[in-house]
């Protein structure tokens, strides 16, 4: 009788232990270290340039867990100037990149099977700046002057601007600073509204001293940044591509609504990359990115690529013999911009 009681007690303890282990296992399946974490899809993303608020939306989406919310275990790697995003994409070392639309069309024309799955930029950020003291007050005053242009940037947009206004200028290749402009070594500079324009203002030059010619105000709206992947990546996992775009757009919306947090996160990435960080400049850049990504007068959803914008950019590249043919729009752009993600 005593032996039977012992066996009965042990059996009950065994049942309880089994139930406890089952409960622990079920908790592990839904914990960050369990099945949910294992089911996240790994992906690698590289922006086209060094850390700055130009990419704040992606940093924000990563830091506050938006990518994980959409089932993505994302790794953001830093751009390497000797191994740009398109090269890494071609070598299949990354899944997603950002790059300007004109550059993407050019690479597509060369045979790289990349596709646009989200056009973040809706308005060109290109601007020509010149000093009024040098006699440049309107576009025609640029004629016969020297203009600086970033060495690695596609020249199509500048060449089209000069052609449309019947202007001849000497194009001076630049590497990474605006010093030649500040020292009057060149008369004008093509730069980005969200970046070097602010650097020039912060050097001590007032806006009133500058003549500025924004491309989008001169019938040359050539939107820049978009999200790209390989055709085969999309064919293999369209859900991953769509979720990456949706998460990125949410990151941008959150960043615009939480400016100070977005700037602080951006500074963290800049400091990690040993890049001089300037909070006012990054705040300016983030505000301009909002103007570019979500212009007040454009009603389409963030991430959509307008076919008219695409054809405008591609036609310029074709006219200046940068590409031999315009890639088919429906092949180049697959709308993963989530018209279900609103501004």
Sequence ranges of the domains in the chain: 2-37, 40-123+223-332, 126-218
User: How far apart, in whole angstroms, are the C-alpha atoms of residue 337 and residue 257?
Assistant: 20
Q: Please check whether the two domains, 40-123+223-332 and 126-218, share a CATH topology.
A: yes
User: How far apart, in whole angstroms, are the C-alpha atoms of residue 246 and residue 240?
Assistant: 10
User: How far apart, in whole angstroms, are the C-alpha atoms of residue 290 and residue 297?
Assistant: 12
Nearest to 187 by CA among 149, 134, 150: 134
Quick one: tokens of 39? Answer: 């089911």
* Confidence (pLDDT) at 75: 98
Indicate the length of the chain as a whole number: 343
Say if CB 293 and CB 224 are below 8 A apart: no
* Confidence (pLDDT) at 277: 85
Q: Kindly report the CA angle at 274 between 268 and 277, in degrees rounded to 5?
A: 55
pLDDT in tens, the chain (343 residues): 434 444 343 344 433 333 333 333 343 333 343 434 559 999 999 999 999 999 999 999 999 999 999 999 999 999 887 778 899 999 999 999 999 999 999 999 999 999 999 999 999 999 999 999 999 999 999 999 999 998 878 788 899 999 999 999 999 999 878 999 999 999 999 999 999 999 999 999 999 999 999 999 998 989 999 999 999 999 999 999 999 999 999 999 999 999 999 999 999 999 999 998 889 999 999 999 999 999 988 888 899 999 999 999 999 999 999 999 999 999 999 987 655 555 4
Q: Across-strand partners of 20?
A: none
* Confidence (pLDDT) at 336: 74
**For the chain, how big is the Rg over CA atoms in Å?**
26
Nearest to 192 by CA among 163, 158, 219, 164: 158
Say if CB 149 and CB 190 are below 8 A apart: yes
> What pTM, to 2 d.p., does this model score?
0.86
SS3 189: strand
CATH code 3.40.190.10 for 126-218: yes
Cα four-point dihedral sign 319, 321, 323, 324: positive
User: How far apart, in whole angstroms, are the C-alpha atoms of residue 317 and residue 324?
Assistant: 9
Quick one: tokens of 165? Answer: 């206004």
State the architecture of 40-123+223-332 in CATH terms: 3-Layer(aba) Sandwich (3.40)
Nearest to 142 by CA among 162, 125, 123, 126: 162
């Amino acid at each position: 009788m005593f032996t039977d009681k012992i066996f009965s007690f042990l059996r009950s303890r065994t049942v309880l232990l089994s139930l406890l282990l089952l409960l622990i296992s079920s908790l592990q399946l839904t914990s960050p270290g369990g099945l949910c974490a294992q089911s996240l899809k790994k992906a690698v993303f590289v922006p086209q340039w060094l850390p700055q608020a130009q990419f704040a939306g992606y940093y924000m989406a990563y830091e506050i867990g938006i990518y994980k919310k959409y089932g993505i275990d994302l790794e953001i790697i830093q751009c390497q100037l000797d191994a740009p995003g398109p090269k890494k994409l071609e070598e299949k070392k990354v899944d997603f990149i950002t790059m300007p639309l004109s550059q993407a069309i050019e690479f597509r024309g060369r045979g790289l099977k990349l596709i646009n799955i989200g056009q973040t930029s809706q308005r060109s950020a290109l601007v020509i700046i010149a000093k009024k003291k040098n006699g440049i007050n309107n576009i025609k005053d640029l004629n016969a002057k020297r203009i600086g242009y970033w060495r690695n940037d596609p020249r199509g947009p500048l060449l089209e601007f000069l052609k449309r206004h019947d202007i001849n200028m000497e194009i001076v290749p630049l590497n990474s600073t605006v010093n030649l402009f500040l020292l009057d070594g060149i008369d004008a500079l093509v730069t980005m509204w969200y970046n070097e324009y602010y650097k020039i203002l912060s050097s001590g030059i007032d806006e009133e001293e500058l003549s500025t010619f924004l491309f989008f105000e001169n019938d040359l709206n050539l939107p820049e940044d978009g999200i790209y992947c390989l055709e085969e990546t999309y064919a293999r996992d369209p859900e991953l591509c769509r979720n990456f775009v949706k998460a990125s757009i949410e990151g941008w919306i959150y960043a615009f609504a939480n400016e100070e947090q977005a700037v602080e996160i951006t500074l963290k990435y800049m400091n990690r990359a040993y890049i001089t960080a300037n909070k006012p400049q990054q705040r300016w850049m983030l505000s301009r990115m909002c103007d570019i990504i979500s212009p007040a007068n454009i009603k389409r959803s963030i991430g959509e690529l307008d076919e008219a914008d695409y054809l405008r950019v591609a036609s310029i590249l074709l006219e200046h013999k940068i590409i031999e043919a315009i890639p088919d729009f429906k092949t180049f752009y697959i709308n993963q911009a989530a018209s279900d993600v609103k501004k």
